[in-house]
Amino acid sequence: MVRVALVWKCALLSWPAASMRIDRLGELRQETVDMFYHGYNNYMKHAFPEDEVRASAEKKPEPSFKRIHGLTLTFSCLSHQLRPLTCGALTRDRNDPTRIELNDALGNYSLTLIDSLSTLAILAGGPKDGTHTGPQALSDFQDGVAHFIHHYGDGRPGPSGQGLRARGFDLDSKVQVFETVIRGLGGLLSAHLFAIGELPITGYDPKASTGESASDDPLQSAPIAWPNGLKYDGQLLRLALDLAERLLPAFYTKTGIPYPRVNLRTGIPFYVNSPLNGGLDSSGAIPEERLEITETCSAGAGSLTLEFTVLSRLTGDPRFEHAAKRAFWEVWRRRSEIGLIGNGIDAERGFWIGPHSGIGAGMDSFFEYAFKSHVLLSGQDMPNATTSRKQSTTNWLDPNSLHDPLPREMHSSDAFLQTWHEAHASVKRHIYTDRSHFPYYSNSHRATGQPYTMWIDSLGAFYPGLLALAGEVDEAIEANLVYTALWTRYSALPERWSIRESNVEPGIGWWPGRPEFIESTYHIYRATKDPWYLHVGEMVLKDIRRRCYAPCGWAGLQDVRTGEKQNRMESFFLGETAKYMYLLFDADHPLNKLDAAYVFTTEGHPLVIPVKKHERRTRRSRGTTTGGKASAGQSHERSVSVSHVDRNFTNTCPAPPRSDLLLTGSFTAARRDLFGVSRFTNLYNTPNMHGPLQEVLVHEENKGLVTKYRAVSNHTLFPWTLPPTMLPPDGMCAAPPQRIISAIEFPAADAASSLMSRFGASLDWLSYLGPTVKSLEGLRLQLEREFSQRYGEHVWKITHVGNTQLGRHETVFFHAEHVRHLRDEAFTALRRKDVVDIQLLVETSFPTNASASSASSSSYPTSPFSDDPLAPEHTSSSPSVLVGSSQHNNQQQGSLNNVLQSESLFQHILRAVTSVFDPSETTAPGDDDDAATSSSSRDGNSSNRPPLLFYSWQALTSIGAGSSPVPTILDTPSPHSPSYDPSDPVANFPWTSIYFADTACAGPLPESIPRDHQVLILRRGGCSFSDKIRNIPGFVPRKSALQLVIVVDDPVSNTRTTGQRQQQQRGSGKEQQQEEEELPRPLLESEQLTPNGITRVHGVPLVLMRVGRGEYSLFERAVGVGMRRKYTIQSQGHIIENAVVL
């Protein structure tokens, strides 16, 4: 009985820690509502109808710091008062067009009101905690819509379309396309969806007025009478269409990537090369110094699909959806060979500007829209194929007329999901960094993955929330910890935080009220139900109210360290930051329980494609099928289903962890790596001003002894609002990992060689996979020891070559001629006995225009579709990699895994180098006819032969009693090798006489075959390897006689049943890769015999290799066959995992 009582008592004690109290959540909701209305009411009172509330704050002096007993004293932060915001409107700076940070977003169309409407609608749907939620917020929402219509008209062409301020968006404002779409267009569409009831507002039932009926015109909905006298009939949708049509000129580019800016009234006269302007040469139109910049960014060009798709579906006008999707795919098509997108991109030429890649500014929302477009389009029809011109308020423009129609696959939901999978895989592989105290997302080189900058971008704080939405919850939790610790340290997120300096980047320490961190906190809480995130939200709310309050709104922070305030309240503070915070504290909000494919845009506006509209426009039921093609007049098609289920990717969302398994109720608070985050952000050295304070007497020259306060402890745990009851009573943090670093320095002939090697002169960058070492003289390598899943033991990884830091997955290539003789404890080359490379020089007779050497798998990520319309475009910073095989792995993850293997690395570098040596060559056809020849031979000595191609495969040596060592010849030089002779390629190959004997199972071969041919090509199957050798007649060893038997495993020689082959062809890329890895070494179970049964005096070497479909026929055109041995590199008894010998 006592035990039962104790257990029940423990359960009662743990319950308060398991979740935040309901009354406390209500208080936080009300504080959030008050925060929103303080900003909104002051905007409407002092700034509307201008864009934003203006602020003016005098610079706050730096607080004085003093170190006493290891703690930092802050003398001025407790009593210093800032000058408040001065009430007034903030508008465009027409006198200084270069102020794009202001002019890009502010278009003179009441931006803050548009951004706030969806937040008002969400507050209207919440519980009536106070005076400004429920019915009051609904009334404010409806009044806000009425105010906007009063100033900008109702979107019709007649008199009612003229507003007090403008007719729609007929404004002389040059704005940024991206900002206008996400803020203006997204805000209007979201408010419209709330107004017509497609997004939920508790207690709001939008019924048509008595006697009114819906129109067939999608722009004219049945009027809904509101208490303020407005009859809402789609005014915001018509205004959204007007705004979007004014943005269409920006899409008139040859690339399909929109220009960054457009004038809402005049279009793009400043982009003189646009097809809309006749493609005139700029020299005769506008002075060079006044030419408009054509650089946009991946996020700006690729993050338009949500708003434009919803607009097209609501209006029946497909122009916007097609244009936005084309822009998205054009950006994605230009990703690098390692799957990374860049930041800046030229809209006219499609070239990347700069090598920077990451998840932050300039790239952030591209990843977001890849996944959210999948959600939005889930279960939807294909878009309209025809266009209606009615209700256009501008000159009719359709930039899609410049381009071919998008393939149907590119409109599908699964296509966007596959893009997200591939993009996420590349980010996790090349941007995610775990070489510090705690993992983080770096900024890397787009083409190679090398670390590029050493700072964290505050805009990247959105990424954990996106990961949670996509089911990558564990990764999301880990990523969000870094931003939580940084917020705890600075009570805001600095725009950039230096990893190297462990401090704010000089001059870039502002926080303008950005929502990304609280957005991620909201999404992770929805995925985990962990109350830890409620306390994170509580911390953010308290810090904002304490640091950003002013009488006329909420000011951004110009410097998170000093508290200096900005002269502005950004519209997204009310449109996003307050919105996500409110939804975090209202678990029962109808939007949090909406069973629909809705999404938040990157500006925080909820959007959904209405189900009623979808059902009304579908011409046949879901359960019926048609027996032929759709008629020409049918405007909708069912979405194309593209298989995206791959075990390499996350295909389901995990259930929230059970909080009852921990007394604290929080798995995040119980993580053992929390101190690692605190150490990484230097939070553990930051005084905790929210904890107990101690009085200290300090002498000042003018005042004498003055009482000041200091924190009695530093931060260790976070957030600072976390109650002690959520901490495990026996919680322990993991010990910081010990990094074991080693260095290898090769001797230099002189000081000059050492200096040149240190600065990278000894490296060639022939491939995105990593550098190739040209010379070992003076070369310095830095290595770090880590555990390898591949080898199941600790290995070395090269992290630096000279002063060059490598990316996490970059490989260092060495020439065998340079290292194969080295036998030193620090650097040893060990020859592998199980595998060799078989090399082939192939004669081709078809036109050539590029270079390639072959492989049996694709060496770069491809699109989700077999016809590959989205293959990465090769740019000047990426070597041109062409493939001589048709065995494309259609999944990026599989492709990336493939290149981890030495064979694929070697084959890739061969392709890259061949393109460098001979740019006139091209790849062989990917699917040649497999015409098997029972007996044929080719002599390599001929003149005036057509261009030659170089191929390489990995081959397995034989084992067993009958195995014989491979020939003792010098390694055949490859095109990149120091000993290669480019003047006579055939002379580099030791064997030029080849014979094809099919399977060699029918009986003994003619005696002349091994006597007159150096290489015998056999197909796998039909009989055992020993039987194949037995059917080779005896011969006298000499240079022109048989040297090597190559058994080829290809799709034709595979002896499995047809059903098995079909099942293999239906298998995923991963299964095919596993099959390649499982190719066994050929077993010769008995000693070698001649056809007469006599034991061979001189054994015949045999190797087994697998080729792709159509590659067997390459041997028929071969003019030379060679072999290179394979090596592994060791240092101090451990393998150097990312060192590959060519």
> Would you please indicate which residues are annotated as catalytic (active-site) residues?
179, 364, 495, 516
Report the C-alpha gap between 614 and 82 in whole angstroms.
53
928 close to 1110: Cβ distance less than 8 angstroms: yes
The residues, any chain, with a CB within 8 Å of residue 712's CB and separated by 6 or more, are: 71, 691, 692, 693, 694
The residues, any chain, with a CB within 8 Å of residue 379's CB and separated by 6 or more, are: 413, 597, 639
Q: Take residue 27 and report the two structure tokens written for it.
A: 């208080």
223 close to 212: Cβ distance less than 8 angstroms: yes
Q: In what order do the strands lie in the sheet with 1139-1141?
A: 763-767, 770-773, 812-814, 1139-1141
Q: How many degrees, rounded to 5, is the angle at CA 258 between CA 257 and CA 260?
A: 125
CA distances from 413 to 287, 641, 644, 695, 971 (A): 45, 8, 10, 62, 51
Query: Token pair 């000693």 is at which residue?
Result: 1087
151 close to 49: Cβ distance less than 8 angstroms: yes
CB count within 10 Å of CB 786 equals 16
1081 close to 957: Cβ distance less than 8 angstroms: yes
CA distances from 2 to 11, 13, 259 (A): 14, 16, 75
CA distances from 932 to 923, 998, 1050, 1103 (A): 22, 7, 11, 20
Report the C-alpha gap between 634 and 625 in whole angstroms.
15
CA distances from 188 to 115, 237, 238, 367 (A): 8, 7, 9, 23
CB count within 10 Å of CB 848 equals 18
Backbone angles phi, psi at 523, to 5 degrees: -65, -40
Residue among 985, 966, 962 nearest 1032 (CA): 962
Q: Is 602 known to sit in a ligand binding site?
A: yes
The residues, any chain, with a CB within 8 Å of residue 15's CB and separated by 6 or more, are: none
Report the C-alpha gap between 110 and 995 in whole angstroms.
80
Report the C-alpha gap between 137 and 123 in whole angstroms.
6
Q: In what order do the strands lie in the sheet with 52-54?
A: 89-90, 52-54, 568-569
986 close to 958: Cβ distance less than 8 angstroms: no
Omega of the bond leading into 719 within 30 degrees of 0 (cis) = yes
770 close to 811: Cβ distance less than 8 angstroms: yes
Query: Token pair 């000058």 is at which residue?
Result: 83
Compute, in degrees rounded to 10, the torsion defined by CA atoms 359, 362, 365, 367. Answer: -50
Residue 576 carries which DSSP code? I
Helix (H) or strand (E) holding 581: helix 578-585
Binding-site residues from annotation for Ca(2+): 602
Binding residue positions:
602
